[in-house]
Structure 1
Amino acid sequence: MSTDGDSITTPLVRGLLAALSVLGIGLAVVVVPALAAQVAGTASSATALDAVLISLNVLVLGHGGGIMLSTGVIDGAVTLTPVGLQILLVLLAALSLRRVGHRLELVRGDGVLRVGALRDAGVSLAAFGGTYAIGLAVLAAIGRSADAAPMVTSAVVSGALVAVGGGLIGLLWSLRREPTTAVPGVRVLELLPAPYGAVARSALLAVLGLFGAGMLLVLVLMLTHVPAQSALFDQLDPGIVGGLVLTLLQLALLPLLAVWALVVLLGGTVVVGTSTGISLAEVQTGVLPVLPILGALPEPGDLPGATWALMLVPALAVGLGAVSLVRDVAELERREQITAWIAYPVVVVVAVLLLAGLTTGGIGDGRLVHLGPAMGTLVLPLLGVVVLATGLVLAVLATDFVPWTRRSIASLRERVDAAESEERGEDAGRRGSFGSRGRTGGAAADGTDGDGATAEDADTADDEHPTDADDVDAWDEDAEDGDDQDEDVDGARDEDARDEDTWSADGADEDPLSPRAGR
C-alpha cells in the first residue's frame, strides 16, 4: 500500500462505511420482523410507525443499552439484554472489519506486518467505533415515543463497546494466514507472547465448553417441558407470522438462558423476580412473562441431593481446558509454566463473571426488577470449581504424581511376585522331603507300601517330586549306620560264644569232680 496522503484517508473512510453498513444490517434485522408482525396482526391496533419505533428500542436493547417504559402494565427501566441479538451484532462488526483489514493489506506476502499497518488498523477501528456509536445514538433518539424511550447515553456506551470489540476481533482475524511452503502461517493467538497465547487458547476452550454445558441443560429442559411450552404458545395464539417473530425473539433469548443455566450448574442462584431463585437446591418461581420458552423452567420445589452432581459437568469443561494448557506449555521453562497455570483459572473466572454480568437486568420497577444471576452466590462456587478442576489436572499431568504412581505399582508388583516365588519354593521343598521319607519305609508283600501304594506309583511319585541331594545323602548315611549296627551285634555274639567255650575248657581242668570230667 502506498504511503501518500491516501494512507490515512482510506482507512478512515473504510471504517466509516463499514460502521454504516453494519448499522443498516442490524436495523433491518429488527425492523423487518416487527413490520411483518404488524401487518399480520389483524387484532393489533399498532401502526407501521409503532412497529418501527419498537424495533429501534429492541436494537438498543440488543446492544446492551436500556429503555424506559411507561405503558401502565410495565413501568420503569428495561435493561435485560437479548444476548442472541448482541452476539449477532458483534459477529457482523467482526466480519465487516475483517474485510477492511484484508483490503488494507495489513500483512505482506511474506507473512510480516507491512510498514504503517498498525496505524491504518487503528484509524479504521476508531472511525468504525465512533461512527457506530454516534449512529446508534441517533437511532435511539429517533425511537422515542410516549410509551418507550431508549436511553441515549447507554446506547452510545453499549454501541461503542460492541463496535470496538467486534471490530478488534475482525482486524485480528484478518491477520490470519495459512502456511505455505515458503511462508509460515499466521495465527491470531500465536501473536501473543508465551505463555499467554496458550492461556488464551485454553481459556477460550474452557469458556466455550462451559457455555455448551449451559446450552445443553436448557435444551434438555425444553425437551422435557414441551407440553407446558405448547400451552403458553396456544395461549398467545400469534398466528403464522407472529409465531415466526416469537420464535426469533426466543432464539435471541436462548443464549441468555444458557448462561443462566451455566450459573446454576456452577452452584449459583438465578433470580427470576422478587423473592424467587433457581439453584441446584431448590426452585422458587413467581409470575413470569407469558413467553413459551419460560415454560421450560423446572417446577417449584426442593430438588434431590443428587442434583449437586451436575457441578461435575462444568468441572469437566474446565479440566479439558487445563489439559490443553499443560500440553501447550510442556516445552516452556518452569517459570513460564507456573505463570500459565496461575493465569488460566484467573482468566476463566473473569470471563464467566463477565458473561454472568451481561445477562443480568430487569423489566420495570415491579416484581421483575431483578432478573439473572445473583453474583454474590456465584463467586465462591465458581472459584471452587475452577481452582479444584485445574489443580487436579495439574497434579496428575504437570507433576511427578503419575510416574511416581507407576513406579509404586511396579515395585509392589515385584514384591508380590517375589513373595509368590518364595512361597512356591518352600512348598516344593516340603513336598520333596515327604517323598524321601516315603521311600525309606518297608514295602508290603504284594508290592505296595504302607499306605497301599504300589511300587510303580511310588516311582511315579518320585519322578513327579524328586528329592533333594541332601535328603538322598542323609538316607544313605542312615543305611550305612544300620549296617554297622548289624555287624556289631553279630560280632558280639561270636565273642560271647568263644568266651563260653574257653570258660568250659578251663573249668574242666580246674574241677575234676564236675560231671563232664567224670565222664
Structure 2
Amino acid sequence: MNRLGTALLAAVEALVTVGVGVGIALVPLTLLWGFEYGLQVDWDVFWKAAGSVWLVGHGVDVTFVLGSTVAKASGVSGASAPIPVTLAALGFAVVTVWLGARAGRRFAETEHRVTGVLVGTGAVALLGLGLALSSTSAATRPSVWQAIVFPALWFGIPALVAAEVCRRRRGLGPDPVTARVLDQLDRVPAVWRSIAGFGLRAGTTATACVVAVAGILVGFLLLGSFAEVITLYERSHAGLLGGIALTVGQLAFLPDFVGWATAWLVGPGFAIGTGSSVSPIGTTLGPIPGLPVFGALPAAGHTFGLLWVLVPVLAGFAAGGLMRSRLVRALGSADSALHRALGGVSTGIVAGLLTGAIAWVSSGSFGPGRLADVGPHALVVGAFAALEVGVPAVVALAVGQDLVRLPERSWTRERWHESDEPVDQPSEGSLLDALERAGAGRTTDVHRFVVEEAHHPVGRTTAAEPDTNTNTDTDRVTDTDHHVELPDWARTGGVADVPADTAERAGGMRDRLRGAADGVRDRAGGLKQRAGGLRQRADGLVQRADGLKSRASDLRERAGGLRDRVTGADADRVDTTPDDRPDRHRPESPEAAGARDQQPAFPWSTEEFVAGRDDVDEPPATPAPRTTSAAPTASTTPPKRWDQTDQVPEDELPWWRRPQSDR
C-alpha cells in the first residue's frame, strides 16, 4: 500500500472511531426523541447532547447552563450558575483506545505506518473540533482546544504503541523518528536501561493486578446491592427508554468506578462531594445524586477494611519476586543487591505514576455545589501506591530469592539467516592453516559431532571386495582426493623447527582434538551396545511370533478335527479350511461346494445323530482292481453299502451323513 492509500485508510479508521463513540450516545437519545417526545422537539438538541457526552467521555471540559426554571426545580444550590463538568465518562475513551490500537496494528502492516498514525490522529482532532463547534449552544459550551487535543491523544498514543509493538514482533526496521529515539536511548548506560526497563515492566504488572482486583470488587458490590440499585431505578420513574439511556450513561462511567475502587484498595479512597469520604477505614457520605449505581456504595466502614491494603503490597512483592531472575539476567556482571534495590524503587515509582494517573482521569467536577469535588485525590493515591508497591518490591529483589525462573524473552523472536559476510581464512603456513588442510576444521568455531551407525558392522575393504556381512559384492574405493599430507611435526608429534608458542598451541589443540575423538568413540560404543540390545530384543520378539503362529496352526487343526467328528464329515471331503502353510492348502471340490450350498447346516435329528456311525471303526474298503478296458464291467462295480438308520445306499446319502473311513 502506497502513502496515499495509507492516509486514506487512516482517515477512514478515524471516522469509524469517532462515529462509533458518538453513535453509542446518539442512538438512545434518538429513541427518546422519537418515542418519548413524539418528534416534537428539534433533533438538533439531541445531536448536541450526544456530542457533548462524547467530548465529556474524553476529558473535555463542558460547561452547562441551566435555565432559571430548571435550576429552581432542581433544588440544588448554585444550579443557576454555569456548571462545569470535568469528570470524564471514561467508557467512551476506552472505546477510542481500543479502536486506535486496532488501527495501529493495521498501520504496522503497511510501509508508511508513521503516515497512518499522523493522519489518523489529525483526522480525530479535526472531527473533535467539528463536534465541539456543532455542540456549542446557549446550554452547552465545550472547551475547543481540549476537544482538539484530548480525543486525538486517546487515539494517537494507543495507535503509536500498537504499531511499534507490531513492528518489533515482526522484525521490521524502525522509521527515522523511532530510530533517532532509539539512538538516544542507546546512549544511556546498559545498567540504568535495565533497571528502568524492569521498573516499567514490574510496575505496570503490579498496577494491572490492583486494577483487576478493583474491577472484581466493583462487580461483587453491584451484585450484592442489587436490591438497592433496583429501588433507585424505580424511584427515577424514567420508563423503558429512559432506563436504557440511564443504563448506558452509567456504563460509560464504569471505568471511573473501577478507578475509585483502585484508590479505595490503595487506602486514601475517594469522595462524592465536598466533605465526603469513602475509604477502608470508614465511609462519610452527604447528599449524593440519585443514580442507581450509587446504591452499591458502602454505608459504613468495615471491621477488616485495612486488610484490603494488602492487595497492592502483595502485588508489589509478587511482581518483584516473580521477575527477579529477569532483572538478574539483564544486569549480568553488574548484578548486586544495590542495583536490584534500585529496580524495586523504579517499580514503585512506575506503579505510583500509573495509579496516580488513573485517579486523576477518574476525578473531577460532576455538578454544582458540593458535587464539584468527585473522585480520588491523584497525588495522595499515587504516593500511597508508590510506597505500598515499591517497598515490598525492594525487599523481594534485594533480600529475597527467585520465586520462579522466567524464560529469557526478547522483543523479537529468533530468526536464523545466512550471513553474507566473508569468513576470515587462516594465513598460509600457520598452524590453523595446517589443521584446516588436515581436515580438522576451524578450531575457532564450535562443531557438532554426528555419529551414524549401521546395523551390521562393516569393515574397510578395497575395490570389488566381497562383504561377508551381507554376502554381496560392493565397490569400496578409498577416498584419496581430500587426503592432505600432514607436516612432520604434526605426524610424529615433534616440535622441531616450530616456535615455542606455536608448538604449545599445537599441543593443546592436539590434546583437545584427541579428547573430542575419544568422546565420540565412547559415544559410538554406547550406541553400538544399545543397538545390539535392541537387535536381541527384536530376535526374541520374532521367535515369540513364530511360536504363536505354530500354536495357532495346531489349534486350527484340532478345531478342524473336532468339527469333522461332530458333523460326521467324510474323510474324503476336501478340507476348505484356510491354512497359512502352502504345503497344506487343499482346494474345495465342486461337488462338496454344491452340496454345502444346497443342504442346511444341521439336517439330522437327535435320534439320527445318536444312531449314527461316527463312533464305529470299520475297516477301510479295498479298492477295486484296475482294468485295461475303457468301459467299466460288472465285476469292477463296488457293492452298495446301506445305511443302518434309513436303509438307503450310502452313495445316495448326502456327504455329511456318509460314515467316515480311512480312505
Task: State the TM bucket, normalised to the shorter chain.
Answer: 0.5 to 0.7
Question: Offset at 1:218?
Answer: 1.6
Alignment partner, residue 245 of structure 2:
245
Alignment partner, residue 96 of structure 2:
89
* Residue from 16, 19, 24 that aligns with 1:21: 16
Contact kept in structure 2, 1:199 and 1:325, CA below 8 Å: no
Contact kept in structure 2, 1:69 and 1:364, CA below 8 Å: no
* Residue from 378, 400, 406 that aligns with 2:381: 378
Contact kept in structure 1, 2:315 and 2:389, CA below 8 Å: no
Alignment partner, residue 158 of structure 2:
166
Contact kept in structure 2, 1:12 and 1:123, CA below 8 Å: yes
SS in 2 for 1:269: coil
SS in 1 for 2:365: coil
1:17-49 Cα shifts (integer Å, max 9, x gaps):
332232222222221222123334359975432
Contact kept in structure 2, 1:22 and 1:96, CA below 8 Å: no
Alignment partner, residue 146 of structure 2:
154
1:331 lines up with 2:329 in the alignment: yes
Cα distance between partner residues in 1 of 2:61 and 2:219: 28
SS in 2 for 1:149: strand
* Residue from 369, 372, 382 that aligns with 2:372: 369
Structure 2 counterparts to residues 76-475 of structure 1, below 5 A: 76-102=83-109, 104-105=110-111, 120-175=112-167, 177=169, 194=194, 196-299=196-299, 301=300, 303-332=301-330, 333=332, 334=335, 337=340, 340-398=343-401
Contact kept in structure 2, 1:19 and 1:132, CA below 8 Å: yes
RMSD: 2.8
Residues 170, 36 of structure 1: alpha-carbon distance in 2 compared, 3 angstrom cutoff: farther
Contact kept in structure 2, 1:269 and 1:377, CA below 8 Å: no
1:124-157 Cα shifts (integer Å, max 9, x gaps):
2222212211210111110122222222122112
Question: Offset at 1:342?
Answer: 3.2
SS in 1 for 2:141: strand
Contact kept in structure 1, 2:200 and 2:346, CA below 8 Å: no
Residues 319, 247 of structure 1: alpha-carbon distance in 2 compared, 3 angstrom cutoff: farther
Contact kept in structure 1, 2:271 and 2:375, CA below 8 Å: yes
Percent identity of equivalent pairs: 24
Higher percent of residues as helix: 1
SS in 1 for 2:83: strand
SS in 2 for 1:68: strand
Cα distance between partner residues in 2 of 1:124 and 1:200: 27
Larger mean Cα displacement after TM superposition, 366-375 or 43-52: 43-52
Residues 381, 341 of structure 1: alpha-carbon distance in 2 compared, 3 angstrom cutoff: closer
Question: Offset at 1:305?
Answer: 4.8
SS in 2 for 1:294: helix
Residues 286, 32 of structure 1: alpha-carbon distance in 2 compared, 3 angstrom cutoff: same
1:61 lines up with 2:53 in the alignment: no
Letter in 1 for 2:248: L
Cα distance between partner residues in 2 of 1:221 and 1:360: 20
Question: Offset at 1:86?
Answer: 1.0
Cα distance between partner residues in 1 of 2:378 and 2:107: 39
Residues 178, 370 of structure 1: alpha-carbon distance in 2 compared, 3 angstrom cutoff: same
Question: Offset at 1:339?
Answer: 5.1
TM-score normalised by structure 1 residue count: 0.65
Larger mean Cα displacement after TM superposition, 352-361 or 215-224: 215-224
**Structure 2: stretches of 5+ with no match in the other structure:** 172-184, 187-192, 404-663
Cα distance between partner residues in 2 of 1:21 and 1:205: 31
Residues 177, 46 of structure 1: alpha-carbon distance in 2 compared, 3 angstrom cutoff: same
**Structure 1: stretches of 5+ with no match in the other structure:** 106-119, 180-190, 401-519
1:49 lines up with 2:56 in the alignment: no
Cα distance between partner residues in 1 of 2:169 and 2:378: 40
Contact kept in structure 2, 1:218 and 1:261, CA below 8 Å: yes
Letter in 2 for 1:157: V
Cα distance between partner residues in 2 of 1:371 and 1:267: 17
SS in 2 for 1:77: strand
Question: Offset at 1:357?
Answer: 0.6
Cα distance between partner residues in 1 of 2:121 and 2:257: 29
Larger mean Cα displacement after TM superposition, 326-335 or 158-167: 326-335
Question: Offset at 1:338?
Answer: 5.3
Structure 2 counterparts to residues 495-506 of structure 1, below 5 A: none
Cα distance between partner residues in 1 of 2:23 and 2:270: 33
SS in 1 for 2:221: helix
Per chain length, whose mean CA-contact separation is higher, i.e. which structure has more relative contact order (CA < 8 Å, sep 6+)? 1
Cα distance between partner residues in 2 of 1:262 and 1:20: 33
Contact kept in structure 2, 1:276 and 1:286, CA below 8 Å: yes
Residues 214, 166 of structure 1: alpha-carbon distance in 2 compared, 3 angstrom cutoff: same
Residues 381, 55 of structure 1: alpha-carbon distance in 2 compared, 3 angstrom cutoff: same
1:339-383 Cα shifts (integer Å, max 9, x gaps):
533322211111111111111110234110111112354244323
Residues 396, 14 of structure 1: alpha-carbon distance in 2 compared, 3 angstrom cutoff: same
Cα distance between partner residues in 2 of 1:36 and 1:323: 54
Aligned residues: 368
1:370-427 Cα shifts (integer Å, max 9, x gaps):
1111235424432331122213322553489xxxxxxxxxxxxxxxxxxxxxxxxxxx
